[in-house]
Chain A
């Protein structure tokens, strides 16, 4: 059975996550996805062409020798609607990109198709947290804090211990927690603030500088180390600078060799599509799943109704990550 194209379009409205490989610009990812979707949509056979009515005159000899003229009406498919004349059915699919990833970093990139672009703005304005893993290396400092930048300083790193590093990270997180309280726009002495803090969904309500809500060391083997970060309103450059500052605070230098986003709001690595799967069927499936997860979460929220602040899924979802990170 032929699936009408309008159905395909309706199924496409929504959000999904792709895994952006390092070294590829996010715009290229978006354009590839758009091109693939368009190609698949245009390969669906077009609707039947309009019929054009033509009158074909024919003359017949009457019985008494007179000629009779008759016009026969026939309908032929109009050439104007021929696929080669009309061109592809679709020229554009609206594909939007969530919080960006720069070319050097890799990880989850949220894309929206069609009506999903509206939800994307909702996702952005809800100030969800994102998880990153940062690969760092002690001993060198570079100009743009990444491994590709110009080298500006070398130093020793033998004196650094894991204990040192963790103590520093705790201090940094404390400072960020204060900033979080400042930007979350709630009165600290209120019941509301208490409830939010208990739930861990204390988040900046409007524009704020980048704030780390969680920071820990995953792996330490000098000169290499790996940090796990939860944050809001960040840029990848900010995270690289964080690694650089960690190096400076430990009386050494460090640069970042990799930024990898492992969660963006509700989207985790599990449902991200690798570049082999940026095709229409896989994207439709991913969108379907994210929609059903969304609905399930909304139903859960409305049934519990404990916190009036929790309006949508992302805020609630972030609470898991944030509560683990924010110390009491």
Chain B
């Protein structure tokens, strides 16, 4: 009854969410899967006695019918019953086998594994690989929500996982980095070692140092899942679009490795936005990008809004923005509040040639208390009151 209900629930879930399918790891589990409830030792021996008597009954009825005798001659005595035969081909536990006390004690009756589930939680206790991953610091609850990851992890071999982890360790990653890395990219565990080695050696042939490759893999875990061909294309694209020297491109990619892993279309679009909408010259764009690579992946709309406010409302020329590109990366609300507060105090003066100059860098980067103390020369409470006046 219970199993029927479980099955119904599972099939309901099957329709609604991604479902993990379980490869059954070993024979013991397979045996247990057949029973619907965990068996205690005494129950198991009782079951065996029942199976014995059942077999004997069949044996007795056998000789009385000649057909049965012809079809299965003496089979029931020597071999297990066809009913009990394991369909998966594993050698079954023979009902006639004598169990020693010692063996009987060692039989562990674990609760049956659900054949399908929406969460890895059900398998953690009985899967060596999963428990090892948890000990490593992989967040399985996050991986639950991703399609295909659960069944992939359950099929993994512990040996295979160990090899990949040792490979990553050799790249210079710390033990504490491995858990978060696999949480973000579990598929690195399914890549073949030759591929991984080939990609690392490709990056090294492009003159990325060993430490650089390690830190890039740490910050952009999907880097090693790209084939050598794709990596080459992407690096080539970046160098061509930015028009930078190989050394500078390498520097940018090392500082922002997700540039290589993400979509390249936004990067292209952002470069057009800088050139056409915001009116920067090519060399200015290169300067901005080498200072703050993150601006290549920034949101277009946010970028234009921020630039519009800085350039048109605060009247800051292009030249100064190029000098302090991090203002483009700051939230518009923050800049607006601070600018209006300074304006209210009569201190909004962003021209370096005049006295009372306030650098954009400080305006954007300083935390609130330091901003109030150093730039505005006002108390934090005043600033908060001013925020409620907007």
Contact = CB atoms under 8 A, between A and B. Distances in A.
Interface of A: 19, 21-24, 52, 55, 57, 59, 67, 69, 71, 78-80, 82, 84-88, 106, 260, 269, 272, 274-276
B134 A84 contact: yes
B388 A23 contact: no
Given A84-B138, A86-B141, 8 more contacts: A21-B387, A67-B102, A71-B105, A84-B141, A88-B141, A269-B388, A272-B388, A276-B368
Given A21-B387, A79-B124, A79-B131, A84 B140 contact: yes
A24 B124 contact: no
B139 A19 contact: no
Given A85-B141, A87-B142, A106-B390, A80 B337 contact: no
A82 B134 contact: yes
Interface string B340-380: 00000000000000000000000000001000000000000
Interface string B125-151: 100000100100111111010000000
Contact of A274 (B102, B138, B388): B388
B127 to A, nearest CB: 10
Nearest to B127: A79
Contacts of A269: 388
Contacts of A274: 384, 387-388
A59 B102 contact: yes
B332 interface: yes
B137 A84 contact: yes
B333 interface: yes
B186 to A, nearest CB: 13
Contacts of B333: 21, 23-24, 275
Nearest to A108: B388
A271 to B, nearest CB: 11
Contacts of B337: 21
Contacts of B194: none
A19 B121 CA distance: 42
A78 B122 CA distance: 12
Contacts of A106: 390
B125 A80 contact: yes
Interface of B: 101-102, 105-106, 108, 120-121, 124-125, 131, 134, 137-142, 144, 332-333, 336-337, 368, 384, 387-388, 390
A264 to B, nearest CB: 13
A80 B117 CA distance: 14
B246 to A, nearest CB: 41
B252 to A, nearest CB: 31
A274 B389 CA distance: 11
Nearest to A262: B388
A192 to B, nearest CB: 39
Contacts of A275: 333, 387
B304 to A, nearest CB: 14
A79 B123 CA distance: 10
Given A24-B333, A79-B124, A80-B121, A85 B134 contact: yes
B43 to A, nearest CB: 16
Q: Shortest 6 CB-CB distances between A and B: which pairs?
A: A87-B141, A57-B105, A274-B387, A84-B139, A79-B124, A85-B140
A275 B384 CA distance: 10
Contacts of B124: 79-80, 82, 85
Q: Which of A19, A85, A269 has the most CB of B within 10 A?
A: A85
Contacts of B332: 23
A296 B101 CA distance: 74
7 contacts: A24-B333, A71-B105, A84-B138, A85-B120, A85-B134, A274-B384, A276-B384
A106 B388 CA distance: 9
Contact of A19 (B108, B142, B387): B387
A260 B101 CA distance: 82
Contacts of A57: 102, 105-106
Contacts of B131: 79
Nearest to A52: B125
B102 A69 contact: yes
Nearest to A82: B134
Contact of A87 (B101, B138, B144, B336): B144
Contacts of A84: 134, 137-141
Contacts of B384: 274, 276
A274 B334 CA distance: 12
A82 B368 CA distance: 39
B309 to A, nearest CB: 10
Q: Which of B134, B333, B336, B388 has the most CB of A within 10 A?
A: B388
A69 B138 CA distance: 38
A41 B124 CA distance: 26
A55 to B, nearest CB: 8
B106 A21 contact: no
Contacts of B102: 57, 59, 67, 69
B385 to A, nearest CB: 9
Given A69-B101, A85-B134, A274-B387, A78 B144 contact: no
Contacts of A24: 333
Nearest to B133: A84
A69 B388 contact: no
Nearest to B101: A69
A37 to B, nearest CB: 20
B28 to A, nearest CB: 15
A78 B368 contact: no
Q: Which of B102, B144, B387 has the most CB of A within 10 A?
A: B387
A226 to B, nearest CB: 12
Contacts of A22: 390
Contacts of A67: 102
Nearest to A106: B390
A21 B121 contact: no
Nearest to A107: B388
A180 B336 CA distance: 40
A186 to B, nearest CB: 37
Q: Which of B102, B144, B337, B390 has the most CB of A within 10 A?
A: B390
Contacts of A82: 124, 134
Nearest to B140: A85
A78 B390 contact: no
A252 to B, nearest CB: 26
